[in-house]
């Protein structure tokens, strides 16, 4: 495993574009710390400081930071599809196979790189969230600090699942631009299917079915935190209540998609004449 991971890391770090995108994907989530200290002056009437609003209290800080950090995954998604596109355009994939790397090892090297960078990103978010919580949270009891840390696991799995999808699209399309286009097409198709099922039956059934689709199932791992923040400010308004928890079956769905994408990537590569 380490041999394959080291091989892939060497390829990525020798590519200037990949290095820049990887750097951006790790740096951008850190701007949450910067935003926490921003003071917004409303025409001299009052000053609003995000860090003082309670949105970085434990345990909600785990939910908030993982949700926003996940929005930046598109930058590393470009790296993932480029990993495959460059292999085909530079014909290094054929050279790797000639040098003794099996097709299974080739796919695994990409997957190990995905898991590695997802893990590093999760560790970065852990420290960012912990720092924000320790600075701004009104609660410092240990049992409250560690509550809802499952959002970190959800964040990690969300990255691994999404990047595995990008890996499959990269193998399928062979070109980075086409792979990203297919990703957008899948996003549109999921919503078109939702609309068709809603028109045929009703939205409740359509929504339940859509929860099994790739992108929607990954989104469900970390739902938007805005209503939750509103709920904490206006607890009497029951109409804004919603289920924001991380559920075990959502993990299972994304794990199944991840395994399927890696398997299909291997099957495509195995059958394809290089």
> What per-residue confidence (pLDDT) applies to 234?
78
Q: For 240-254, how does the pLDDT look when each residue is reduced to its tens digit (9 = 90+)?
A: 788 899 999 999 999
| Better-scored residue on pLDDT, 58 or 137 | 58
Q: For 148-182, how does the pLDDT look when each residue is reduced to its tens digit (9 = 90+)?
A: 999 999 999 999 999 999 999 999 988 888 898 99
Q: pTM for the complete prediction?
A: 0.91
Give the phi and the psi of residue 237 in degrees, each rounded to 5: -90, 90
> What per-residue confidence (pLDDT) applies to 241?
81
| Better-scored residue on pLDDT, 188 or 8 | 188
> What per-residue confidence (pLDDT) applies to 248?
94
> What per-residue confidence (pLDDT) applies to 9?
83
Q: For 61-100, how does the pLDDT look when each residue is reduced to its tens digit (9 = 90+)?
A: 999 999 988 988 888 888 888 888 887 777 777 777 777 7
How is residue 146 written in tokens? 């560690």
How is residue 147 written in tokens? 């509550």
Omega of the bond leading into 59 within 30 degrees of 0 (cis)? yes
| Better-scored residue on pLDDT, 95 or 121 | 121
Determine the Cα–Cα distance for residues 192 and 267; give it in Å rounded to an integer.
28
> What per-residue confidence (pLDDT) applies to 108?
94
Three-state DSSP at 171 gives helix
Q: Which of 152, 135, 166 is nearest to 70 (CA)?
A: 152
Which helix (H) or strand (E) segment holds residue 47: the answer is: strand 46-49
Please answer whether residues 38 and 50 qualify as being in contact, where contact means their C-beta atoms are separated by less than 8 angstroms.
yes
State how far the alpha carbon of 95 is from the alpha carbons of 100, 103, 151, 158, 168, in Å: 9, 12, 41, 32, 21
Most confident stretch, 20-24, 32-36, 106-110, 204-208: 106-110
Q: Which of 134, 152, 174 is nearest to 274 (CA)?
A: 174
């Amino acid at each position: 495993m380490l041999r394959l991971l080291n091989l892939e890391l060497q390829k990525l770090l020798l590519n200037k574009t990949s290095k820049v995108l990887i750097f951006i994907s790790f740096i951008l989530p850190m701007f949450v710390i910067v935003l926490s200290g921003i003071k917004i002056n409303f025409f001299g009437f009052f000053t609003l400081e995000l860090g003082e609003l309670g949105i970085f209290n434990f345990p909600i800080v785990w939910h908030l930071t993982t949700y926003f950090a996940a929005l930046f995954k598109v930058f590393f998604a470009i790296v993932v599809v480029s990993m495959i596109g460059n292999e085909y355009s530079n014909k290094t994939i054929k050279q790797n196979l000639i040098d003794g790397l099996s097709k299974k090892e080739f796919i695994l090297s990409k997957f190990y790189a995905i898991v590695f960078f997802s893990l590093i990103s999760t560790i970065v978010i852990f420290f960012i969230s912990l720092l924000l919580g320790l600075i701004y949270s009104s609660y410092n009891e240990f049992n409250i600090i560690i509550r809802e840390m499952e959002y970190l696991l959800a964040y990690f799995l969300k990255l691994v699942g999404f990047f595995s999808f990008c890996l499959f699209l990269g193998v399928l399309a062979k070109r980075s631009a086409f792979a990203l286009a297919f990703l957008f097409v899948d996003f549109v198709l999921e919503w078109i299917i939702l609309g068709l099922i809603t028109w045929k039956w009703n939205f409740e059934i359509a929504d339940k079915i859509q929860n099994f689709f790739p992108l929607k199932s990954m989104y469900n791992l970390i739902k938007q935190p805005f209503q939750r923040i509103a709920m904490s400010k206006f607890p009497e308004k029951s109409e804004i209540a919603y289920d924001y928890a991380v559920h075990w079956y959502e993990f299972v769905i994304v794990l199944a998609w991840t395994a399927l994408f890696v398997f299909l990537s291997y099957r495509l590569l195995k059958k394809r004449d290089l």
